[in-house]
Amino acid sequence: MKTARDKQQLLELIKRSAFSGPGNARFIHPESRDFSVYQDIPFPGFNQVNIQRQNDTRIDLILDHLNVSGKKVLDIGCNIGSISFRLNQRGAYCVGIDADADSIRVASSLKRIHHVKGVEFYHRPFNSSALDFLSVRHGQFDIILLLSVYHWLLYEFGSSGPVITLLNRLSHDHEQTIIYEPSFSSYACFPDTTTPGAIDEFFESTGCYGWQRVGQSFASNSRRTRGLWLGKRNLNELCRTIGNKKSDYRGFPIVLLKSTPKKDTFKWRYLTVTKSEPARPGYFLFKNESSTLLRLSALNLSFLPQLVSSRSLSGSDFVVSRFIRYPSLDQLYSKKLIPAIRSRLYEILAVFKKLGLTHNDIIPRNIFFDPVSSRLILIDYEFCLPAGTDPEHSFSVTRKDVQLLLSQSLRTLGSKFRNKSVPLFSFANDRVIVNRVISDYYHRRFKDYLASRFRNYQQALIRYLSR
C-alpha cells in the first residue's frame, strides 16, 4: 500500500460506487452505507469491506489444472479484478473487461496503488467493438475466463447465438483454454445453462474438443454451489489420449464419442480420429490420405469430411475430422434417393476429373448422405491419386510387408463394385464404381455379403462358446 491516504480514498470510492452493472444489481444497493463489493480484494488491509464471494476455491481449482505462468488471460466480466490479480501473482498477463464502470475504477485503483504490472482493465461491454480493440491492443489470448457471467451475456443479447459468435472470434490455432462457470440468477434467469446437456452444447459450439468438471465452489449466498469447467480448444490432450492406446492401423478411423469411461475425466466431443506411425505397414496409405485431405481442404469442397487438424505427437501422426452424423449408403438405401445420390456423385466425379484425381474406392460405406439437405460426404482417400498413377512407383514401396499390404489392398479396392476389366486409377474405374454403387442389384449383393459375414461370425462365436 502506498499510503494510508490511498487506502482511505479507495475505501471511499468503494462506498460511493453504485456497482450498477447487471452482475452486481442484486448485491449492492446504490444507497448502502456499507463497504461492500462482490469479489474479495486480494490485498491486505481491507477487512472492513463486506465480501459477497470469496475466490480462494476457484483459484485453487484453476491452478491445480493449469500452469498460467507466461499465459495471456482474458477475464470477461472481471468485476474488481480479483481473479486477474491472483492469476497475475502466478505469472499470467491478465486483461479484464467489464460493463460496470465502478468495478473497473476500483480494479484500476487497486492496480495503481499496489504498483501491479502485467494487468490491464477496460470499461467495455463484451461486444464486437471490444474484441476489435483487444485484438489490436493485445493480440490472441491463451486462457479465457467466463465465470458466472454467461447468463448475463444471454440477458444482454437475448440468445446464445451472438455470444457464441463473439467467443469464437477469440479462438486461434495454438492451445487455448476456456474456464467456464455456468450459473443463473433470479434477475437473469437462464437455469437451463447449468444442465449437463447445455454445458456440452456450450463447449461444442465454442470449438472445444474436450472438457471436464474440475470442481465446485460456493456462490455468493454460500448455500448453492457452482461447478467449474475447463474446456480445451486444442487437440494435444486428445492425441496424447489416443497415442497411449496401442492400436494397429487397419485402414479405418477411431471414432471418439462424447461418452467416455468413468475413469476418464475428460469428455470428448464427437470426432473421427485416424492414427498411424511410420513403423506401421499402412503408414504410406495414411500419409497419402492425410496429405490429400490437407490439399483439398483449401478448395472448400462440400463433399469432403471437415478436417479439424493434422499433427504429429509422440511418434504418431493424427488426422482429426468432424464426426459425420449422416447415415452411410449401406445403411440408407432407398430407390427414392437414387436420383439425388447419383447427381451428387456425378458432380464429385466432375470435380475429381478437373483436378486430375481418381478416388478408386467409392463404395457404400464410404458415402454418407443426408436425405434432408441432400448433402453427400465422401470419405477414405487412401488411394486418391492422379489418374494413371502406378501406386507401387508412387509410394516407392521397398519393404516386403508393405508390398504385401499394397497388393492385398489393390485386389480388394472398390470391393464388390469394381469391374476388374477396367484399370485402376482411371476416370472410367470411378464411373463404373459409382454406377454399380447405386444399382439395386449390386446393393442387394453387398447386403447379402455383409449378412453372410455376420452369420459366419455368429457361427464361429457359438462354436467357441460351446467348447
**Does residue 276 contact residue 310 with C-beta atoms inside 8 Å?**
no
Fold of 235-323: Phosphorylase Kinase; domain 1 (3.30.200)
Residue 290 has pLDDT above 80, yes or no: yes
Return the pLDDT at 465: 57
Mean pLDDT, range 281-285, rounded to an integer: 85
pLDDT digits (tens, 9 = 90+) for 422-442: 888 999 989 888 888 877 666
Fold of 4-233: Rossmann fold (3.40.50)
Return the pLDDT at 259: 42
Return the pLDDT at 249: 37
- Judged by average pLDDT, the poorest of 220-224, 238-242, 307-311 is 220-224
| One-letter amino acid of 192 | D
> Which range scores top for mean pLDDT: 22-36, 79-93, 412-426?
79-93
Return the pLDDT at 322: 82
Residues of the chain above pLDDT 70, percent: 78
Residues of the chain above pLDDT 90, percent: 24
Count CA within 13 A, CB hemisphere, residue 59. Answer: 18
> Which range scores top for mean pLDDT: 347-361, 391-405, 443-457?
347-361
pLDDT digits (tens, 9 = 90+) for 389-403: 888 778 777 788 888
Residue 446 has pLDDT above 70, yes or no: no
Return the pLDDT at 453: 61
* pLDDT interval class at 191 (50, 70, 90): low
194: cell is 447449468
Return the pLDDT at 374: 87
Which comes out higher in pLDDT, residue 314 or 413? 413
pTM summary value: 0.68
* pLDDT interval class at 247 (50, 70, 90): very low
3-class SS string, the chain: CCCHHHHHHHHHHHHHCCCCCHHHCCCCCCCCCCCEEEECCCCCCCCCCEEEECCHHHHHHHHHHCCCCCCEEEEECCCCCHHHHHHHHCCCEEEEEECCHHHHHHHHHHHHHCCCCCEEEEECCCCHHHHHHHHHHHCCCCEEEEECCHHHHHHHHCCHHHHHHHHHCCCCCCCCEEEEECCCCCCCCCHHHHCHHHHHHHHHHCCCCEEEEEEEEECCCCCCEEEEEEEECCCHHHHHHHHCCCCCCCCCCEEECCCCCCCCCCEECCEEEEEECCCCCCHHHHHHHHHHHHHHHCCCCCCCCCEEEEEEECCEEEEEEECCCCCECCCCCCHHHHHHHHHHHHHHHHHHHHHCEECCCCCHHHEEEECCCCEEEECCCCCCEECCCCHHHHHCCCCHHHHHHHHHHHHHCCHHHCCCCCCCCCHHHHHHHHHHHCCHHHHHHHHHHHHHHHHHHHHHHHHHHCC
* pLDDT interval class at 452 (50, 70, 90): low
Residue 362 has pLDDT above 70, yes or no: yes
**Does residue 425 contact residue 389 with C-beta atoms inside 8 Å?**
yes
pLDDT digits (tens, 9 = 90+) for 101-142: 888 988 998 898 889 999 999 999 999 999 999 989 998 899
> Which range scores top for mean pLDDT: 88-97, 274-283, 451-460?
88-97
User: Span 327-467: which CATH code?
Assistant: 1.10.510.10
300 C-beta neighbours (distance < 10 Å), count? 7
Strands 267-268 and 307-313: unpaired
Taking the C-alpha atoms of residue 145 and residue 126, their distance in angstroms, rounded to an integer, is 13
Rounded to the nearest integer, the mean pLDDT of the chain is 80
- Judged by average pLDDT, the poorest of 38-47, 119-128, 155-164, 315-324 is 38-47
What is the domain partition of the chain in residue ranges? Answer: 4-233, 235-323, 327-467
pLDDT digits (tens, 9 = 90+) for 157-176: 888 888 998 988 887 666 78
Residue 264 has pLDDT above 80, yes or no: no
Return the pLDDT at 335: 72
| One-letter amino acid of 329 | L
Return the pLDDT at 118: 95
Mean pLDDT, range 359-368, rounded to an integer: 88
